[in-house]
Amino acid sequence: MIHKLALIGFGNVGQGFAEILRDKATHLQDNLGLEVQIVAVSDLLKGALYQPTGLDVATLLEVVKQTGKLTDYPNSVGLKRDWDSLKTIRESNADTIVEVSYTDINSGQPAIDHCRAAFEHGKNAVMSNKGPVALAYAELSALAKEKGVRFCFEGTVMSGTPAIRMPLMALVGNDIREVRGIFNGTTNYILTEMESGLDYATALQQAQSLGYAEADPTADVEGYDALGKVVILANVIMNVPLTKNEVTCLGISHLTLADIQQAKSEGKRWKLIGRVKKESGSVVATVAPEMLPLTDPLANVMGATNAITYDCDLSGPITLIGAGAGQTETGFAILIDLINIVRGNV
Ligand code: HSE
């Protein structure tokens, strides 16, 4: 059976996911029996399309590459170009809404309303957008459950590295007492490049051109993006109803080349560390740069790569290292959520 998708947002991640569908359609169908169709795309800047019988993914990608506008997609019978995101979510024949619009970590909007509309209309929601999970996890997960649909967000933390599904599936039964990690690719990339002598502004520019940074990179460099991920991990992995205002947050924008060199001369390295720790009945959550000794496994995680250590009561500490950002990597996170929805897995 064909699984129909509506993409809300068609930036880096949306296009990365569409490229995977274009390039791996035969593999997905032959090996996993997964047949996926994009019926709608709605993007604030690029325009909107709805074709209930399915859009051609290669053409979608090509017109956006050529002109930057979805409106240049060729006409066909039944094609609509004037639906906004909420109409698309409510009225399209999509089974699943793919929420890959920009993250607003302060309000979570309009993505939270997109999720509410999807669930109210019996549709699953899959996302890399951190807003809904970081700010409205309890409400949205309860609503999805009540409506019998799925709320999946593997791509919100460490892109396609399974920082969420792995502990939920494979570490189940443990009490996870602490998570600690590098949760932002942009800042880790900047710190890595600064160690080689590049100045902060140029390193940030490179991270932006490589597609790692948020639309507004303030969220990366001031730690708000990592903060969102810390809140998600606390709620989803550790079952702690942490809110963003309970996390102490400091970014890396104040670090200078001299600070980086100073750490190097002491055999240490600055890393932006996110942490949630259960401590005698309460929880401490922080995002802050830390000068780690090179013997710490997190000190050797370089570039846009992320890492997380789960401190588990039964299995002991387990560390996962992998991509933390990137077009294909985050596109893959969307794909893996979809495969698990279709299979009925977590
Ligand atoms: N801007 C984020 C980062 C993207 O650099 O890690 C992935 O959430």
Specify if 205 maps to a domain: yes
CA of 164 from ligand 1 middle (Å) equals: 16
- 312 and 335 co-located in one domain: no
- 315 and 331 co-located in one domain: no
Specify if 166 maps to a domain: no
In this structure, are residues 235 and 141 in contact, taking their beta carbons and an 8 Å threshold? no
Specify if 208 maps to a domain: yes
- 281 and 185 co-located in one domain: yes
Helix, strand, coil percent content, the chain, rounded in steps of 5 = 45, 25, 35
- 31 and 137 co-located in one domain: yes
CATH number where 83 lies: 3.40.50.720
Percent of the chain with pLDDT over 70: 100
- 126 and 46 co-located in one domain: yes
Number of neighbouring beta carbons within 10 Å of residue 13: 30
Smallest CA-to-CA distance from 124 within 92, 88, 103, 150 is with 150
Number of separate domains in the chain = 2
172 secondary structure, DSSP code: B
In this structure, are residues 269 and 188 in contact, taking their beta carbons and an 8 Å threshold? no
Number of neighbouring beta carbons within 10 Å of residue 340: 17
CA of 225 from ligand 1 middle (Å) equals: 7
**Rounded to whole angstroms, how far apart are CA atoms 138 and 106?**
17
Residue 214 confidence (pLDDT) above 90 = no
Provide the residue range defining the domain that includes 127. 2-160+327-343
Closest atom, ligand 1, to C-alpha of 219: 1
pLDDT digits (tens, 9 = 90+) for 229-242: 999 999 999 999 99
Q: Checking phi first, is residue 280 left (phi over 0); if not, alpha (psi -120 to 50) or beta? A: left
**Rounded to whole angstroms, how far apart are CA atoms 273 and 245?**
17
- 141 and 200 co-located in one domain: no
Specify if 276 maps to a domain: yes
In this structure, are residues 207 and 186 in contact, taking their beta carbons and an 8 Å threshold? yes
- 252 and 298 co-located in one domain: yes
Helices (H), 212-288: 218-221, 224-236, 257-265
**Rounded to whole angstroms, how far apart are CA atoms 6 and 90?**
10
Residue 216 confidence (pLDDT) above 90 = no
> What number is the average pLDDT over the span 172-192?
97
Closest atom, ligand 1, to C-alpha of 214: 1
CATH number where 258 lies: 3.30.360.10
For a pocket test of ligand 1, which of 206, 220, 227, 306 has the largest count of ligand atoms closer than 8 A to its C-beta?
Answer: 220
Q: What is the pLDDT of residue 1?
A: 85
Specify if 167 maps to a domain: no
- 15 and 156 co-located in one domain: yes
CA of 57 from ligand 1 middle (Å) equals: 25
- 180 and 302 co-located in one domain: yes
Residue 5 confidence (pLDDT) above 90 = yes
- 296 and 338 co-located in one domain: no
> Residues near ligand 1 with C-beta < 6 Å?
159, 184-186, 212-214, 220, 225, 324-325
Phi, psi of 176 (to 5 degrees): -85, 110
- Confidence band, pLDDT 50/70/90 cuts, at residue 84: very high
Q: What is the pLDDT of residue 215?
A: 80
Q: What is the pLDDT of residue 324?
A: 94
Specify if 165 maps to a domain: no
Q: Checking phi first, is residue 69 left (phi over 0); if not, alpha (psi -120 to 50) or beta? A: beta
Specify if 130 maps to a domain: yes
Specify if 255 maps to a domain: yes
Supply the angle between the helices 224-236 and 131-147 in degrees, to the nearest 10: 30
Q: What is the pLDDT of residue 58?
A: 98
The model's pTM is 0.96
- 138 and 236 co-located in one domain: no
- Whether cis (ω within 30° of 0) applies to the bond prior to 217 is no
- 256 and 181 co-located in one domain: yes
Across the chain, mean pLDDT equals: 96
pLDDT digits (tens, 9 = 90+) for 248-303: 999 999 999 999 999 999 999 999 999 999 998 899 999 999 999 999 999 999 99
